[in-house]
Amino acid sequence: MSDSENKVECNTHGSTNATFLCRHLIEGEKRGFNLGVDPENPDDLWPDAWCDECEEVLEAEGEWNDKSEKFADIKLLCSGCYEDIRDRNWVQDEDVFHDLVKSSFSFIEPRHQVFLSKYKAGEHERWDWYQETAKLVFSHNGKPQVEADIQFSGTNSTKSNTWMWAWANDSLEEKVKSSSRDIKALGEELGLKQLVAGRYTATEVDGWEMTSVLAKHLNAIGVYRTPSDTGFTYMVITKAKWVNKNKITKLFGL
């Protein structure tokens, strides 16, 4: 497991969290990337990892013992190097990934257009989301007009150019991020890094792609993102309703 208390000084990435990988991953590429699970920290951004060869030895031995540990020769390194090595060694079926994204976009796009039209989501003066209630509220003149049920998919940092899944973000409350773990489970089943890795190099487009995957999974009616000083927060909308429609009919021509 990664160690958030102990830091590693790296010439490339500076002071970062300590992580643990087998020597084959550190030295090689396309070796496969098998992840350990820490029951006490299932949302670890950098779980212990080892190559396919180490996995074969581990399965043969049935546990981590002297033989399997000697073969793996686990090394400590920084979290930045961990992510670089993960990207270099992860092997997946890209057709499976692209088909998933394509089908997810095809699912949510028409629904999202209906949501925009029905609730005028792009025309309200203000938006506010509330983690404690998992609600997104659109307002006019200080009065709520539309209330939506939401689940966060994740955040895109335009400073570090990374995507972080909501489940991996300890600043988010469980109520708004619990569903994102379903996508991690799907990624484990399909072997897709973009769904399994808590954080990785990404663009704003990647944020929309991952959000569309969650949207399809939740049978959502729309997607949304809100800006911050460091990037964007992405979310899916599962329900919506007008809460003050009679007072805004003339403004929107409803």
219-239: pLDDT as tens digits: 999 999 999 999 999 999 999
Judge if 116 and 237 occupy the same domain. Answer: yes
User: pLDDT tens-digit profile of 18-60?
Assistant: 999 999 999 999 999 999 988 999 999 999 999 999 999 999 9
pLDDT of residue 141: 87
In b/e form, how buried is each residue of 221-242, taking b as 16+ CB within 10 angstroms?
bbbbbeeeeebbbbbbbbebeb
- Length of the chain in terms of residues written: 254
Boundary-marking domain end, from 33, 60, 89: 89
Which pLDDT band, with edges at 50, 70 and 90, does 3 fall under?
low
Judge if 118 and 238 occupy the same domain. Answer: yes
Judge if 161 and 191 occupy the same domain. Answer: yes
Judge if 208 and 223 occupy the same domain. Answer: yes
By the 8 A CB rule, do 237 and 222 touch? yes
Q: Determine the structural domain holding residue 21 and report its residue range.
A: 3-89
**Maximal CA-CA distance, the chain:** 75
Judge if 161 and 54 occupy the same domain. Answer: no
Boundary-marking domain end, from 89, 124, 145: 89
Query: Rounded to two decimals, what is the model's pTM?
Result: 0.92
Strands 3-10 and 14-21: antiparallel
Boundary-marking domain end, from 41, 69, 89: 89
Which pLDDT band, with edges at 50, 70 and 90, does 250 fall under?
low
pLDDT of residue 245: 67
Judge if 175 and 239 occupy the same domain. Answer: yes
Judge if 112 and 236 occupy the same domain. Answer: yes
Counted domains in the chain: 2
Q: Is the pLDDT of residue 5 over 90?
A: no
pLDDT of residue 32: 98
Judge if 110 and 236 occupy the same domain. Answer: yes
Mean pLDDT calculated for residue range 88-96: 98
By the 8 A CB rule, do 26 and 77 touch? yes
